[in-house]
Amino acid sequence: MARILKDYPSVALKPEDLDGKIDFGRIFGRSGPVHIEIGSGRATFLLNQAKAHPQVNFLGIERAGKFYRYGVDRIGRWALSNARIIRTDAASFLADFIPDNSIDRFHIYFPDPWPKKRHHKRRLLVPVNLEQLLRCLKPDGIIKVVTDHAEYFEQIQKVISAQSSKLEKIEFHPTAGADQGEWVGTNFERKYLKEKRPIFCIAVRKT
């Protein structure tokens, strides 16, 4: 029997309810570090992180309706007050709603590689979007990226290198919920590891 997904208004952040730049203190009902995961999927990472780090406020962005609803249901069932999810386009959301110097960490795990050359402009990690990530990050804020796509990872490294005056590479530490041999413990990572695909990761800090 298919699982019935419940809606939890306390978890689901609606784009139509936003008016200008987000006040995270109002959204979460408290102050504290803010982490954003772009591409939350079924919210496996978001759930594990929110449980492991109750002092941190987590916002997941997921465009696919089915995954978004599943994520809302999972977070809601666990009654986690420090996690929210929004269904929207990440690039425009960052530009329109995230204040300058407000985010402590971005998590970008297995973003769509858009492998066909004519679709590369749709990739998340391109120069204009990295500029937005940098604008949103606090000083010493961190961006963590994982992908299984070698060509995309090569491009990501080039885009980051072009901002070497603002970003420094740091060690990538596995996240909460990652098992032995994993970096982030997401559903995609586990699927790709079973398929023996190489996994590439990078972490950088805003200087």
Return the active site residues.
Answer: 112
Task: Please identify which residue in the block is written with the tokens 């858009």.
Answer: 114
Which residues touch 95 (CB under 8 Å, ≥6 apart)?
132
Which residue, 49, 64, 62, 66, is CA-closest to 3?
Answer: 66
Rounded Cα–Cα distance for residues 100 and 97 (Å): 10
State how beta strands 200-206 and 34-38 pair: unpaired
Question: Contacts for 125-128 with beta carbons within 8 Å, 24 or more apart?
Answer: 125/152, 125/155, 125/156, 125/159, 126/159, 127/159, 127/162
Specify whether the CB–CB gap between 82 and 35 falls below 8 A.
no
The beta strands (E) that lie in 130-172 are given as 137-147, 167-170
